[in-house]
Structure 1
Amino acid sequence: MSEFGFQSTAEDVAEGIDLSGRRAVITGASSGLGVETARVLASRGAAVLMVARDAAKLEAAVAEVRESVPAATLDTALLDLADLDSVRAGAADILQKAPVINLLVNNAGVMACPLSRTAQGFEMQFGTNHLGHFLLTGLLAPALLAGAPARVVNLSSAGHRFAPVDMDDPNYQQREYDKWQSYGQSKTANALFSVGLDQRLREHGVRAFAVHPGMIMTELGRHMEASDFELIARGRKPEELPFKSVAQGSATSVWAATSPDLDGKGGLYLEDCHVAEPATAEAEGGVEAYALDPGEADKLWQLSEALVGQRFNFKE
């Protein structure tokens, strides 16, 4: 369904697409994929609101985008996804600056970090990668509904194959912590959230997608050690690993946000600018059935509402 693939860049997939009059909000926009996604969307005419937790890094990222796209329409908002109070304050700021949102790219995340907890006591990876974005997206829903047709892009990962979501102990309060299992759980949650969000908003013109960007050397890997690369390598030499550049790693996010090929679709897991095939034991890519299960998506939605202390009813 797509002419693009592993080698495609965000520039490639955005060529010929006019985003004039459209507004995009991007989390994790102070480095790596977030900056490139912001730059390319801005280059196609979108007004881009860049979101991050570090003011100095965000200011530098804005300068980087503006150097490449001098006419870019850019704004910023500060929030920390690991603190729900910060998410609520940041969402209020975003809604004031962007009462209409057409594209929301939930790009921020942490990976394979030692056991730590968010401000509200959630396990850091589940709390940041999923719960922070769950609350933020729910709070921004009025602007997305006002911007319909709109799309939400949640960055998942092939790492979702490490683990499903443990609905009974998502925050590692009873079981022993494993950083890769935890990362996998959080990335499965990103995919299930896309399914659940799409179910609830599609009749209102808002569609949601989960994206595996590929393996890219960015700040996301700052906690990785030699043993972690050996785990990912699966017996291969480092030079044999299928790494992407940042430009290539941003491509599927931009494709998910903008491609007419995805009009009328949603609740899908995308990789290499395609809808992913079902995962198999032999294949590098693909999506596990548990990451797209509507029943599990509903369970996660209800659990997430309970954990963040807020219910979202989009039918009113």
Structure 2
Amino acid sequence: MPFKDIWQQYFPSGSPPFTEEDLEPGSHVGKVFIITGANSGIGKELTRFLYPTGATIYLAGRSQERISKAILEIESTASTSGTRGILKSLHGLDLSDLRTVKPAFECFALQEKALHIIWNNAATFCEPGTSTVQGLEGHIGVNAVGPFLFTTLLVPFLQAGAKESGQPSRIIWTGSVHIEVGSPLGGIDFANLDSVKTISTFTDYGVSKCANLFLAHEAAARWGDQNILSVCHNPGNLYTSIFDGKHHWLFVLILRTFLLYDAKYGAYTMMFSGFSEKITQAQNGCYVWPFGIIKPCARADIYKAIDEGKAKQFWEWCEEKAKPFV
């Protein structure tokens, strides 16, 4: 794996090809979006950028209080002129507990008939020893199995969104440079997949992000003929609230100065994945580098694993884990 591929993902060159300037006010009136983890970080920045487009945006997450606070902040700081979107709370979605996923879906289903884009943005970075409520390793449960269950429930609404708009609906999965630098040979070690606790934060996080690349490929294969595009992206190396209070201020200052970009740049990647016309059926299942470059993951062994059926195997593993909660 060339060092330059890692360097390019940590330090993208050039200007982002898709920014808030490419979103015309009122351009998405009537569209419905879901963003998980939208009450903070890049999810909130994306919501802020989408608000003037007039779309109905569901902020999905655990805390009603935090989501309401984010909605109030976005609404109160927006321009008083022009189109405004509709921001709605989809609280109670705790991806570490699969029992909460269907109720969140049902809450959405009672209010809407179609969905045009879902950004599976929420994620966790766990300490060793972490498990989900259902006994899954913390990263794989929250970052992959939870989004898998939520997304599969929403497929009929994505189909309706594509039919209504005449354009493909999109599913956005979240990867990371940790796919390249942290995951084992082949991306996922299936022998350890049923581990009930986090063993290595670095490795297990990388596995969960490779899992999303696998899910993007398999979703493209299964739902592409239903006018649904599936994309996995690495938003970039970004400063978010995950760093607050967890590291010495000097360490965080060094990171922000030399390594981490503002959260809005992650939102630029998310907007590219959600709206760029460069992503067509021909690129269904593609991977996107920061801050909007369509380019495969730099690990050839991972694509070899996909060709050998490992993405399908992982999808079926997720189905088994999610089945009791459908």
Q: Match for 1:76: what amino acid?
A: S
Counterpart amino acid of 2:316? Q
TM-score by length of 1: 0.84
1:6 Cα shift? 5.7
Query: Which residue of the other structure, out of 218, 223, 243, is the alignment partner of 1:196?
Result: 218
Q: Which has the higher helix share?
A: 2
CA deviation string 1:2-61 (max 9, x = no partner): xx9664374145358922221101100110111111121222222111111011110011
Stretches of structure 2 lacking an aligned partner (at least 5 in a row): 1-11, 163-167
**Other structure's SS at 2:309 match:** helix
* Aligned-pair identity (%): 25
Q: Match for 1:73: what amino acid?
A: I
1:74 to 87, 105, 110: 87
> How much has 1:167 moved relative to structure 2?
1.9
Deviation at 1:246, TM superposition (A): 0.9
Report the 3-state secondary structure (helix = DSSP H, G, I; strand = E; otherwise coil) of the residue aligned with 1:217. coil
Match runs of 1:1-316 below 5 Å: 7-8=15-16, 10-14=19-23, 18-69=27-78, 71-78=84-91, 79-148=93-162, 149-161=168-180, 162-163=182-183, 164-173=187-196, 177-221=199-243, 238=255, 241-264=258-281, 265-271=283-289, 272-279=291-298, 289=303, 293=307, 295-309=309-323
Q: Structure 1 stretches of 5 or more lacking a match?
A: 231-236, 281-285
Q: Which moved more, 1:52-61 or 1:263-272?
A: 263-272
Q: 1:205 to 1:110 in 2, by over 3 A?
A: same
Moved over 6 A (4+): none
SS at match of 1:261: coil
CA RMSD of aligned residues (A): 2.9
With over 3 angstroms needed to count, the CA separation of the structure-2 counterparts of 1:42 and 1:291, relative to structure 1, is farther
Alpha-carbon separation, structure 2, partners of 1:114 and 1:222: 20
Count of paired positions: 295
Q: Would the aligned equivalents of 1:192 and 1:293 in 2 still touch at CA under 8 Å?
A: no
Could you say if the C-alpha distance between residues 270 and 294 of structure 1 is closer, same or farther in structure 2, counting changes exceeding 3 Å? farther
Indicate the larger mover: 128-137 or 8-17.
8-17
Question: Which amino acid is the alignment partner of residue 195 of structure 1?
Answer: H
User: C-alpha distance in 1, partners of 2:301/2:262?
Assistant: 22
Q: Structure 1 residues 278, 34: closer, same or farther in 2, change over 3 A? A: closer
Tell me the equivalent position of 2:3: none
